[in-house]
Amino acid sequence: MSEQGLRLHPIIIVENTIRTAIALLIIIFFTAGESLDMLIIAGLAAAALVVLLVFYYRQWKLTFVRFGETDIVVERKTLFKLKKTIPYSRIASVNLNRGVLNRLSGTSKLLVNINSGYNAIKPEASLTFEQHFADRLRNDISRHVYSDEMPSFEEVEQVVRFTTMDVILHGLFSVPTQQSIIGAFFLLNSIVEQYRVAVGEVDAGPGGVLISLLMFFIFLALPAIRHMIYYYGFKVHRQGDTIFLEHGLIRTYKTSFRISRINAIRVKNTLFSRLLRRSSIEAEVVGIGSDDGSGNTRPLISLLASDTTTQSLLQELVPEFIYERQTEKQPAGARRVLVVKGIVASAAIIAAMAYPSLLAYRGLSGEGSGIVGALLPYALPIVTALVVLAIAYSVSVSLRVREVDTGEELFTFVNGILDREMVIMSYDRVQMVHVVRGPLARHFDVSSAKVFMLSSTGTSSISSGLFSEERLERIGDIVMERAAAMKH
């Protein structure tokens, strides 16, 4: 490690200038775009660009990084001075990130994350160096953090090799079910509208079809494409006590973290992925933030894969979170609570929609033609009926799906209606357990619990279904008992 101060690669001057300039142009456009002449706007933009270049050049010139034997020191000697010291003992992960500018300039971002929920989403330090030098620094830091070098993905046999088709399927079927249904509805609506225009039933116009296609793109196509780009070339393997991840098409990511940093494991599936018998695996890890603004800070350690492959990956990657589970479904008291709540909610919706439905029937009777015209007067009653059916379905599925299990070292919640997840948590990583009993739940002798723990997004909470108070309070008791035992 070098005790001398190092400057970052000057490409950060360009990167920071572009990012800030785009933000300023958007502000100018929406605040004064119509009142100012284009020549004035161009002059302001040019002046702002020069000022930004000078500002970020000076910031780059006066910023130094020192890699010592015990810590990393980032020091900025500008007007607003900054000195940030990061001990190696506090580092949770050291990751590499390469965006478009990094690829063009042959550089990499070295992202240093600490084990803290306060700044969990963003890395503690983002350091841009020439690519080979960044790789060498990552290996050097890893020797302090992990006591070994970072292996190359090419040198390690992967547990499962994910293909491009796996990435495409993950992108398509990992979108939340509600979004997928809304997106599919707008796509179907655009097809129907286009057909009606084609047969001459309605006049051609740019509004209906384009708006529907835009909504389809926002709700379904865009998230699916984003996932495909983000997880392209997905690789995962475990070496010793460390998991290594690599993925990305436009911006590449190389991430690693210790098994000891994992607070919980989530096995997730959506309605459509469940029909294909596919599930994905996520890990709750503190200290793997990425400053790319994507928000994908919770690491995915498996794309949507067959249930058999998912179980195999759990055994290979995180056997510490595998244990013999004896799950418990929600008791009879939970059924009564959910049924009463469902009846009350359904009655309220029917009462609220009765008068608007009557007005809609009177106003829309005889309007339009064909199937759409015939159904239009009954649109609100149909929607009301569908909502009531959805409430009844959610009650039925909740009773069938929600589970709890309390083992010796781990415990599990199973939740979800359309999108479902099994969360396996460690008692030693829990911060708080809240057991809640409302008036209705208290009458039927059931409770719900909310478990709080640190995560890659700060603090996360996982809620349970309705179970006996003694069963849920036992989780908090075990947490306190283990905490007391660790102190001694």
Compute the distance between CA of residue 286 and CA of residue 260 in angstroms, rounded to an integer. 10
Determine contact, residues 75/8, Cβ cutoff 8 Å.
no
Determine contact, residues 434/450, Cβ cutoff 8 Å.
yes
Fold for domain 11-150? PH-domain like (2.30.29)
| Cβ-based neighbours of 100, under 8 Å, separated by 6 or more | 250, 251
Compute the distance between CA of residue 332 and CA of residue 338 in angstroms, rounded to an integer. 10
What's the pTM? 0.82
Q: Tokens for 240, please give them.
A: 């010793």
Which of 184-192's residues contact partners 24+ apart within 8 Å by CB, and which partners?
184/216, 184/220, 186/212, 186/213, 186/215, 186/216, 186/219, 187/212, 187/213, 187/216, 187/220, 190/216
CATH class, 402-487 region: mainly beta
Per-residue pLDDT of the chain (488 residues; tens, 9 = 90+): 445 589 999 999 999 999 898 888 777 777 665 566 677 777 877 888 899 999 999 999 999 999 988 889 999 988 888 899 999 888 877 888 898 899 999 999 998 887 655 555 678 889 999 999 998 998 888 888 766 655 555 556 677 889 999 999 999 999 999 999 999 999 998 888 787 777 766 565 556 688 889 999 999 999 999 999 999 999 998 988 888 889 999 888 888 888 888 899 999 999 999 999 999 999 988 767 555 544 456 789 999 999 999 999 999 999 999 999 888 999 999 999 999 999 999 999 999 999 888 888 777 766 555 555 666 778 888 899 999 999 999 999 999 999 999 998 999 999 999 999 999 999 999 989 999 998 999 999 999 999 998 776 667 889 999 999 999 999 999 999 988 887 65
Q: Tokens for 373, please give them.
A: 């015209």
Residue spans in the chain of domains classed CATH 2.30.29 = 11-150, 402-487
Question: In the block, which residue shows the tokens 């179980």?
Answer: 311
3-state SS assignment for residue 84: strand
